[in-house]
Structure 1
């Protein structure tokens, strides 16, 4: 949680109030990544988080004169950002996952049409996450990874905006009930009531074990072995070796295509009949605190592999429980991925 500004920040604040844009940028810079992550958790889309962050910056610049220093500057920014997110939530439909759009397919011939627009829960590059340092405390690292995990962010979207904000301010950002109530312009009793309802909804929708804990239980060596086996089987198009890595209830989703496949048998059938018709090369990446890959496919007759998907994996008990494939080119640019490989 942000601390009160020091003397240097007070001087920057004075300069910013006098119209010094560079001083304002220096004031905001230490909070930028964490605030952007907060907006992402609220909205489940890095693109929507951009909109909320830009609205936050504009409101903070215009409202500097109203900041009296009775709370930390960062706390004031979080208040502005949270209300910017709440306004977006009120104007836009909530982001959903593929199983919420419709039932799983029972065949692989027709995958349907893309459903574009602000519809889907989207991934968040780990490089954009706050607190990723060499000397980060292990407990803090675990909380950071859990706080942006796909399952957690997707579950948050089932909460009304105020419940979403109450839970994030209290349980992720660590504000006291009084501080969070003040930031939401409500009473402590109302804040606690919203938090209790949010906690119950999340308990019903979250897996018993978080992805961060699943990875820690597997250990670094075990995780790298699993990922290495996955890449080897995928690039060899060895369906039998690949399927051995899946849980019985494995899922495969691919927004903005609404289709998805449920169960190891249907996932393996889809991969064998549709995915493995072309050669692939995988390059590792990290998103939402989860392992993933940039997936490059080589179309028939082409001399190069072109970027075809961002694939994130969800794990359970040392196996792959879900494959989340994202096909939106706008996400590829956000991850800074090369469009093709030699």
Structure 2
């Protein structure tokens, strides 16, 4: 890399921060762990800058370092993949930061990492059920479009081993991804989804459990990371709402938003001084065929990182 100074190196690396962060997020499922791993990536890259020989692009070199940093974290902190459909370390990713990603370019496969379907929560959850190395192979090959020989070089494996791992990973993804994935809707321009989200928001604010239940598909899945317990089925989800004392709750307001390229609603509860509404929960929805098929509920500590207001003014206040 020559005699580049720290300032020049930082400038080169920062151009790729967001896409590296998304790559680490796919590998790890946690926004905060991805942030830490990108920092570790930049530190390792600076210390090893002499090893960049120009045989690949600077971006690809950073991806190699980031992937290994993710594998090191997984070996240290999460030696076992997720199981049973639950990912307790799952965190949402704000769309406002996804908008910083470079536009997809058919001549640069790395930029295809912006594809919506590989950032949605169902995909991220499914990936977390794979063992770390097959997970890396899947993301590098199917998301970033790397050739098998480059993945083999990164992992210190043979091309045959990489191809075998890819087949296992694809089989694992088919097992854990919803079958009707091609029918998902929910983009910001989808009028039907907007109306469904409006009805979901209104019914939630009114704590109208029958109205909420009517919006759910019979095989809906509902989770609240990091709280354990995945509820599956309309009746089970409705019973959970009743058991939690949701019915009859007052003082709620909902703000529609998007995270992970999915519709979401941030709920606030009137409990602050002077009647202010404070963060309560964030519901991220997956919509299929005009019904809600998945709800991931996140706690109020996610609001700040998502760029959501820290409070809403009291009723009638400016």
What's the RMSD between the two structures over aligned residues? 2.8
User: Structure 1 residue 279: deviation in Å?
Assistant: 2.5
Matched, 1:68 2:37: no
Once the two structures are superposed, residues 153-185 of structure 1 have per-residue CA deviations (whole angstroms, 9 ceiling, x without a partner) of 111112121101111000000111112222222
Matches of 1:51 and 1:261, distance apart in 2: 31
Distance verdict in 2 for CA 1:197–1:85, change over 3 Å = same
Matches of 1:186 and 1:60, distance apart in 2: 22
User: Structure 1 residue 35: deviation in Å?
Assistant: 0.7
Identify the range of structure 1 (285-294 vs 33-42) with the bigger mean alpha-carbon deviation. Answer: 285-294
Matches of 2:160 and 2:113, distance apart in 1: 30
Query: Equivalent residues in 2 for 1:138-149 (5 A)?
Result: 144-149=115-120
User: Structure 1 residue 80: deviation in Å?
Assistant: 0.4
Matches of 1:252 and 1:136, distance apart in 2: 32
Matched, 1:293 2:265: yes
2:220 to 226, 250, 254: 250
Matched, 1:325 2:294: no
Partner of 1:196: 167
Matched, 1:127 2:96: yes
TM-score using structure 2 length: 0.86
Distance verdict in 2 for CA 1:48–1:216, change over 3 Å = closer
1:84 to 53, 56, 69: 69
Partner of 2:246: 275
Partner of 2:13: 28
Distance verdict in 2 for CA 1:231–1:100, change over 3 Å = closer
Partner of 1:108: none
Gaps of 5+ in 1: 1-12, 102-118
User: Structure 1 residue 262: deviation in Å?
Assistant: 3.1
Identify the range of structure 1 (237-246 vs 21-30) with the bigger mean alpha-carbon deviation. Answer: 237-246
1:157 to 116, 125, 128: 128
Matched, 1:334 2:299: no
Matches of 1:142 and 1:160, distance apart in 2: 21
User: Structure 1 residue 283: deviation in Å?
Assistant: 1.1
Matched, 1:187 2:158: yes
Distance verdict in 2 for CA 1:175–1:227, change over 3 Å = same
Matches of 1:142 and 1:166, distance apart in 2: 14
Partner of 2:206: 236
Gaps of 5+ in 2: 314-318
| Matched-pair contact (CA < 8 Å) for 1:284–1:291 | yes
| Matched-pair contact (CA < 8 Å) for 1:313–1:324 | yes
Q: Tell me the secondary structure at the aligned position of residue 27 of structure 1.
A: helix
| Matched-pair contact (CA < 8 Å) for 1:278–1:300 | no
| Matched-pair contact (CA < 8 Å) for 1:297–1:305 | yes
The count of aligned residue pairs is 306
Matches of 1:204 and 1:224, distance apart in 2: 30
Matches of 2:83 and 2:259, distance apart in 1: 16
Distance verdict in 2 for CA 1:300–1:307, change over 3 Å = closer
| Matched-pair contact (CA < 8 Å) for 1:218–1:317 | no
TM-score using structure 1 length: 0.81
User: Structure 1 residue 218: deviation in Å?
Assistant: 11
| Matched-pair contact (CA < 8 Å) for 1:163–1:197 | yes
Q: Tell me the secondary structure at the aligned position of residue 174 of structure 1.
A: coil
